């Protein structure tokens, strides 16, 4: 009988496993890549207290009080003035499209009313669809305005806003989600997250399943072109996605009372483009992977940074510029802008055009990549 334990046999088994691990390059890359990606994203990109949020200023008057307020905003960490002197229509467009998070409206007679001893109101419209992104800046706004105005206030008014009844009052309007209900921001975004996870995962094992079952030769021998095979593989999952969309939207309305303000047909059209991009991405992954396990590993490797950089878990505007640029390469980032804009802001097609164009580009790119890769398997 063989001995109960042999160090030689153990070392041989360890050597065998390390050789197999080295040969499985995808798994080895995942073991090294996932911890590095998590470390970089959580260490550098994620920020729960967003700063330098894009801000537009309406009705800008060239007086010392307006200049002092603008200067205080620009020197603060929370606001970054990106648009000056916009009108009401443009300001609303900027908020709906998500180009700015705040719109500061200064009275046209701000300086005159301050010098007369009156107490004018300064209005700040805030995009509150994501309560976490706007709460810190909103809380700091009165102190920022007070700090900026104090050096230029008339001598008799040189005191704080709390002790001076004539000091300008800052009025904040939380638009689209005035009660700061987190579910209003999270539940619509879950539509994109759930679709991404299921669609990419299911389609990523489409071809690898054929390989593992030994039916790939039969598939390749069919009198069908690569595009016909691809469509035959991915179109059934569009039906699965349609069922998921119906379930999620119905549950969001019944369970969480999400206010669906915008056009549902527009939302369904955008979601269809998004799902098509996802299933094509999953099909492309299936042409790279040799086993279903590898396909699932690559799906997870794509899913993790997409989840973190899209604005689902953490405020998108709070990330550094390089992280926002990296987030633009994921379809989920553009879909979240569209779905939140349509459902919570009532955005129309013209206001989500950039997101629709980006998603359409993903469809074309992923389809081309999948077809080119699949042709190689035919050779």
Residue 39 inside a domain? The answer is no
In this prediction the pTM is 0.82
Question: Which of 125, 146, 175 lies at the terminal end of a domain, its last residue?
Answer: 175
**pLDDT for residue 16:** 79
Residue 148 inside a domain? The answer is yes
Question: Which of 175, 193, 227 lies at the terminal end of a domain, its last residue?
Answer: 175
Shared domain for 196 and 295, answered yes or no, is: yes
Q: How many domains does the chain have?
A: 2
Q: Check pLDDT > 50 for residue 364.
A: yes
CB 155 within 8 A of CB 163: no
Shared domain for 169 and 186, answered yes or no, is: no
Shared domain for 144 and 246, answered yes or no, is: no
Shared domain for 156 and 258, answered yes or no, is: no
Shared domain for 214 and 121, answered yes or no, is: no
In tens, the pLDDT along 48-58 reads 778 888 999 98
With a CB cutoff of 8 Å and minimum separation 6, the contacts of 195 are 241, 244, 245, 271, 274, 275, 278
Q: Check pLDDT > 80 for residue 165.
A: no
**pLDDT for residue 378:** 46
Q: What is the mean pLDDT of residues 33-49?
A: 70
Shared domain for 103 and 64, answered yes or no, is: yes
Shared domain for 113 and 205, answered yes or no, is: no
Q: Check pLDDT > 60 for residue 38.
A: yes
Residue 21 inside a domain? The answer is no
Residue 164 inside a domain? The answer is yes
Shared domain for 350 and 274, answered yes or no, is: yes
- From 93-97, 282-286, 292-296, the region with the lowest mean pLDDT: 292-296
Nearest to 252 by CA among 267, 272, 237: 267
At 1, is the pLDDT very low, low, confident or very high (cuts 50, 70, 90)? very low
Sign of dihedral through CA atoms 56, 57, 58, 62? negative
- From 36-40, 90-94, 241-245, 373-377, the region with the lowest mean pLDDT: 373-377
Shared domain for 110 and 245, answered yes or no, is: no
Residue 25 inside a domain? The answer is no
Domain holding 238, by residue range, is 182-378
The CATH number that applies at residue 73 is 3.40.1710.10
Q: What is the mean pLDDT of residues 13-39?
A: 72
CA distances in angstroms from 18 to 14, 15, 261, 291, listed in the order given:
6, 5, 56, 19
Shared domain for 103 and 221, answered yes or no, is: no
Q: Which residue has the higher pLDDT, 231 or 22?
A: 231
Residue 192 inside a domain? The answer is yes
CB 208 within 8 A of CB 295: yes
Shared domain for 153 and 228, answered yes or no, is: no
Burial of 243 (0-12, 13-18, 19+ CB in 10 A): exposed
Question: Which of 175, 203, 234 lies at the terminal end of a domain, its last residue?
Answer: 175
Tell me what percent of the residues of the chain surpass a pLDDT of 70: 86
At 154 the three-state DSSP class reads coil
Residue 26 inside a domain? The answer is no
**pLDDT for residue 26:** 65
Residue 41 inside a domain? The answer is no
In tens, the pLDDT along 213-258 reads 766 666 666 677 777 777 787 788 888 888 888 888 898 889 888 8
**pLDDT for residue 220:** 66
In tens, the pLDDT along 68-89 reads 999 999 888 899 999 998 888 8
Shared domain for 156 and 213, answered yes or no, is: no
């Amino acid at each position: 009988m063989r001995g109960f334990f042999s160090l030689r046999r153990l070392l041989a088994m360890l050597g065998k496993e390390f050789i197999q691990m080295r040969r499985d390059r995808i798994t080895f890359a995942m073991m090294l890549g996932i911890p590095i990606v998590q470390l970089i994203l959580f260490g550098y990109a994620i920020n729960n207290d967003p700063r330098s949020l894009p801000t537009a200023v309406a009705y800008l008057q060239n007086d010392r009080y307006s200049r002092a307020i603008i200067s205080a905003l620009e020197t603060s960490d929370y606001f970054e003035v990106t648009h000056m002197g916009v009108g009401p229509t443009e300001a609303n467009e900027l908020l709906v499209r998500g180009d700015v998070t705040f719109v500061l409206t200064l009275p046209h007679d701000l300086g005159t009313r301050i010098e007369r001893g009156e107490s004018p109101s300064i209005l700040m419209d805030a995009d509150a669809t994501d309560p976490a992104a706007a709460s810190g800046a909103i809380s700091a706004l009165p102190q920022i305005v007070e700090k900026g105005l104090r050096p230029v206030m008339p001598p008799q008014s040189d005191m704080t806003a709390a002790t001076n009844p004539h000091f300008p009052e800052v009025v904040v309007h939380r638009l689209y989600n005035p009660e700061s209900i987190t579910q209003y921001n999270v539940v619509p975004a879950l539509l994109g997250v759930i679709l991404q996870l299921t669609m990419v995962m299911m389609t990523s094992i489409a071809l690898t399943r054929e390989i593992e079952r030994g039916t790939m030769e039969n598939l390749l021998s069919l009198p069908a072109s690569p595009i016909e095979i691809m469509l035959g593989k991915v179109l059934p999952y569009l039906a699965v996605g349609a069922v998921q969309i119906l379930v999620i939207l119905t549950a969001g309305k019944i369970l969480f009372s999400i206010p669906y303000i915008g056009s549902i047909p527009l939302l369904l059209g955008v979601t269809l483009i998004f799902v098509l991009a996802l299933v094509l991405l999953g099909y492309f992954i299936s042409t790279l992977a040799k086993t279903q396990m590898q396909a699932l590993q690559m799906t997870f490797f794509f899913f993790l940074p997409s989840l973190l950089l899209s604005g689902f878990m953490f405020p998108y505007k709070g990330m550094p510029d390089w992280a926002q640029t990296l987030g633009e390469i994921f379809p989920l980032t553009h879909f979240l802008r569209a779905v939140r804009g349509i459902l919570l802001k009532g955005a129309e097609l013209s206001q989500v055009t950039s997101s629709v164009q980006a998603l359409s580009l993903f469809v074309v790119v992923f389809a081309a990549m999948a077809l080119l890769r699949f042709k190689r398997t035919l050779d």
